[in-house]
Structure 1
Amino acid sequence: MPLNAATSRRGFLASAAAAAGGLLLSGRPAFAAPDPYGGFKVGLQSYTLRAFDAPTALAHTKMLGIKYWESFPKHVPLSTLPASVNESKKLLAGSDVTLLSYGVVRFSNDETKAREIFDFAKAMGIVSLSADPDPDRQTFDLLDKLVAEYDVAIAIHNHGPGHRYDKADDVLKWLTNRHEKIGACVDTGHYLRSNENPVEVIQKFGPRVHGVHLKDVRTVKSPEEQEKIAPTLTKNRQGMLAKENKLFTVLGEGELDIVGVLQALKKLNYQNCVALEYEESEKNPLADVELCLAAVREAVKKV
């Protein structure tokens, strides 16, 4: 959405809010505004706001009009100590943010460590853990037991080219004959980096989609454009551009079929967090995040 369109939209919403307030004062009924996200639990992967402490990140989230989080450990410490759990719950409740998911967390065949993570998830009311489990039978046997015991899902997170869960099939092969609560966190940006279509990936996983990280990627094929862009990037992004000809970008400005992703999730009656994760502009991401959210709202209209 162009900036002038976004400004107009904000103006419209401000006028609508004022009108609703007037109706309340006049004693006439005010009707609740429709959900701009069409019933999807659109939230943030709090890594998007990694440059900020938890109270500031939550204040920014509230300002953005978002009510759901998938947190990473900086913002909600992975601890089963009652004082830590209560402090995190208090912070979230004070910002009207519901913590649905958490991660990315590692799992091995160490049951003591795994139980600590599941105990934390249960204490916090988390329904899904975005995870990077060791790809071995012992680890998955343990997860089979724990997801059933705790009623908390495992969502295996892909992390792009070179990662052990690069392609959808790298995840799928570990799901055969496993508990239904062991599934996938579909990171759309990383699947685009791996030259896989996120819509088709969601369809492959079906009801085993237990998490979504919504981000966009664009391909930069022109050597001239690459040469122009490279000096503005971090070393990591320069490496990504050189190896893959790809860069993360604002939702709607890359190759992600946002409408297709939402349609595929709707067919699954997906109820967990659709977590926007924006990895760029680390110290000042809010303007770009607003544009990303505007792109989601526009896509919802077409679902």
Structure 2
Amino acid sequence: MKKNNLLIGLGVVLVAVSALFYNFRPAGPGGGMKWKPGVALYSFNRFPFEQALDKADSINALYVEGFFFHKLGDAFGGHSIPNLTDEEIKTMKGMLDKRGLKMKSVYADGKSEEDWKANFEFAQKIGLEFLTAEPQKQHWDAIEKLAEHYKVKVAIHEHAKGSSYFWHPDSVVMAMQGRSHFRACADIGHWVRSGLDPVKCLQTLQGKIICLHIKDLDAAGNLKANDVMAGTGVIDYPAIIAELKRQRFEGYVYIEREGNWDKNVTDVDYALKYLDRLNR
């Protein structure tokens, strides 16, 4: 009996120690989705590009998503994405490679077809798989042709109701019609902010989702809801992960923390680990 009690006690200790030292592991075992976990660098938008990469690297992220209005820092001569010189693109690649990080997408924008061409040229040079964007309707066909030419897809992102044409998944479906290079970037937080059911939204876009933006809120259906750490707010992430598993989703999952701006690395770290646990 004493021996059994000792074994039980040791087991409890081991479980406690394992929980204490739990570390993020991508593409979890046990039937978990083979998704690609990472960070939207917008989470660290108050820091130059290299510092933002350091933050992502410190929490074992594998992928990062850049954004076109990032103030990149002195190493980039005051230029921004996509207007970097070839030498500056080489510098950017070096910063990523040094940390073992991969940048396969960038949040992009354009006011003209020339702007979009510049976006795609940058995407090709740095090796992106897709551009995350909310393109104006008059540019859709031109963007589709550019996407085909440069072999870079477009993931349509949904902002909240009132701030974007693409707040509802139905509008994304409409944009994708007849445009084989258009996909969806599912922003879970903005859907909930707009009063939508994120599981139903995912079902509407099934088979077309290339990436997710993960955030959480302190209220649903409230355009002024505050951003909180993923897993601590009102969004039912277990239900969302169950739906993604049903769809066998294997795309990119970007944590996008829009708050606690100067010291949110631990928040992003928590979110990555939280999603990883749900995916096991």
Output the TM-score relative to the length of structure 1: 0.75
Shift of 1:80: 5.0
Aligned to 2:99: 95
> Does the residue aligned with 1:207 lie in a helix, a strand or coil?
coil
Answering whether residue 185 of structure 2 is matched by residue 161 of structure 1, we say: no
CA shift in 2, pair 1:251/1:152, >3 Å: same
Q: Which residue of 2 aligns with 1:107?
A: 110
Amino acid at match of 2:256: E
Structure-2 separation of matches of 1:165 and 1:171: 6
The aligned residue for residue 234 of structure 2 is: 255
Change (3 A) 1:294 1:175: same
| Inter-CA distance 272–85: structure 2 relative to 1 (3 Å threshold) | farther
Q: 1:144 to 1:6 in 2, by over 3 A?
A: farther
Indicate conservation of the 8 Å contact 1:128/1:211, yes or no: no
1:100–1:273 Cα contact (<8 Å) kept:
no
The two structures, once aligned, show a CA RMSD in angstroms of 2.6
Match among 6, 19, 38 for residue 9 of structure 1: 19
**Alpha carbons 1:71, 1:99 under 8 Å: kept:** yes
Question: Which residue number in structure 2 is paired with residue 186 of structure 1?
Answer: 186
1:84 aligns with 2:88: yes
1:97 Cα deviation from its structure 2 partner: 0.4
Q: Is the 8 A contact 2:124 2:152 kept in 1?
A: yes
Distance 1:267 1:284, change over 3 A: same
How far did residue 6 of structure 1 move? 10
Tell me if structure 1 keeps the 8 A contact 2:23–2:273.
Answer: no
1:35 Cα deviation from its structure 2 partner: 4.4
Return 82-91 or 67-76, whichever deviates more.
67-76
Structure 1 contact 157–186 (Cα < 8 Å) conserved: yes
Q: Partner of 1:77: helix, strand, or coil?
A: coil
Return 5+ residue gaps in structure 1 as ranges. Answer: 15-32, 221-240
**Closer, same or farther: CA 192–171 of 1 in aligned 2, 3 Å:** same
Q: 1:249 to 1:168 in 2, by over 3 A?
A: same
TM-score (normalised: structure 2): 0.81
Cα deviation code 1:239-298 (max 9, x no counterpart) = xx9x64622211111232323333433444444321110001001101222221221122
Equivalenced residues, count: 253
Instruction: Report what 1:204 is aligned to.
Output: 204
Could you say which residue in structure 2 is the equivalent of 1:232?
none
Identical-residue share of aligned pairs (%): 24
Q: Is the 8 A contact 2:175 2:182 kept in 1?
A: no
- Is the Cα contact below 8 Å between 1:153 and 1:210 reproduced in 2? no
In 2, are the aligned partners of 1:185 and 1:209 still within 8 Å (CA)? yes
What is the alpha-carbon distance in structure 2 between the residues aligned to residue 56 and residue 34 of structure 1? 23
